[in-house]
Amino acid sequence: MHKQQGFTLIELAIVTIILGLMMTMLIPAASSQLEQQRRRETINKMAVIDQAIVAFVMTNRRLPCPADGTVPAGTLGAGVEVRDASGDCGTQTNGVLPWITLGLSEADATDGYFNRFTYRVPPDGVNGLTRNGAMDASGCDPAGGAAAITSPSNARTCAPCTSANRAACTSALFIVSGRGLRVVDDGGNAVNDPAVTSSTGAAYVLISHMAEGGGGYTSSGTISAPTIAAGTNEALNANGQTVLAAPASYFHSNMISTGAGAGANHFDDLLSHPSISQLMARAQLAPRTQP
């Protein structure tokens, strides 16, 4: 009798088929797990960033301006807010989170997909929030009726008052009215709107462009091309364009819609967009009853 050696061609073919089937099942599962991990990482980083912004506002009584996303990592100015002597930010065309200004690392300011977080604040001027004292409404009174005071150095400040003359106090509405960024959901409803009576304008918009990636800046200072065709609403959140420039008069915070068939409806951006009032309250700078 001859001793059998090795595998026959039929046996090798069967093993190859089995391994192929196993890989077909395992690869999507591994890919899905990686996507979930990157998404969780991005969500956790955004929560840390939101807290860092609150701490900055609490200390400085203003919002930080964006940093220039075109500046490569390790280069002078990378991660530092771009702010002029008046406290204004300019066009913000290439704005990313100013991690150095916030006391964070670049890794903290980079999402799970290796892009820097896009960061936007309301445009400059008396409605801006980056001028000295612009986020401090602690001298206002909820029951007040007076208008806010504006000056070249401060966007809006509270009129001095006491409990004896409550009508002379600046109300919360005058501080937030007409200010902030507009954010719209997938149904066309304004989640944040500076034009409404309650003045729910967003104090800032923080954006991760997620797996699709288009419009996010890399650590080398180049803007990412989308991994697949960007959806219509994703284009409104993309970096590399002036804040509120046509047609992007608002930002989109849609439900996630992905997949090969999503096309123009594809959307996987993740946004954080607290209102001005919410941020003032978190920073302990909201209007309070005056003594």
- Which residues make beta-bridge pairs with 61? none
Side-chain-facing half-sphere of 168: CA atoms under 13 Å? 8
Tokens matching residue 115: 């892009």
What is the residue type of 78?
A
Task: Give the residue from 198, 194, 211, 216 showing the smallest Cα distance to 257.
Answer: 211
Alpha-carbon gap, residue 53 to 49, rounded angstroms:
6
CA 248, 254, 259, 261 dihedral sign is negative
At residue 259, φ and ψ (nearest 5 deg) are 110, 160
Residue written as token pair 């003032």? 280
SS3 label, residue 202: strand
The region that residue 185 occupies, defined by phi over 0 for left and psi between -120 and 50 for alpha, beta otherwise, is beta
- Give the end-to-end CA distance of the chain in Å, rounded to a whole number: 106
Task: Supply the pLDDT for residue 81.
Answer: 98
**C-beta separation of 280 from 137 below 8 A:** yes
**For position 246, what pLDDT does the model report?**
46
Distance between CA 117 and CA 79 in Å, rounded?
Answer: 11
Q: Which amino acid is at 250?
A: Y
Tokens coding 178? 């007409």
CA–CA gap between residue 256 and residue 39 (Å, rounded):
12
Q: In the prediction, which pLDDT does 98 show? A: 98
Are 105 and 98 within 8 A, CB to CB?
no
Q: Give which of 210, 227, 142 is closest to 176, Cα–Cα.
A: 142
Taking a C-beta distance cutoff of 8 angstroms, is the pair 228, 213 a contact? no
Main-chain phi, psi angles of 82, to 5 degrees: -105, 105
What is the structure's pLDDT at 285? 94
Cβ(57)–Cβ(135) below 8 Å: yes
Provide the residue-wise pLDDT of the chain in tens; the chain has 291 residues: 555 555 677 767 776 777 777 766 666 555 678 888 999 999 999 999 999 999 999 999 999 999 999 999 999 999 999 999 989 998 899 999 999 999 999 999 999 999 999 999 998 776 789 999 899 999 888 888 888 887 666 678 888 787 788 888 888 788 888 889 999 988 888 899 988 767 789 999 999 999 888 899 999 999 998 888 888 889 889 999 887 654 557 899 887 777 655 678 888 999 999 999 999 999 999 988 888
Provide the residue ranges of all domains of the chain, joining segments of one domain with +. 9-282
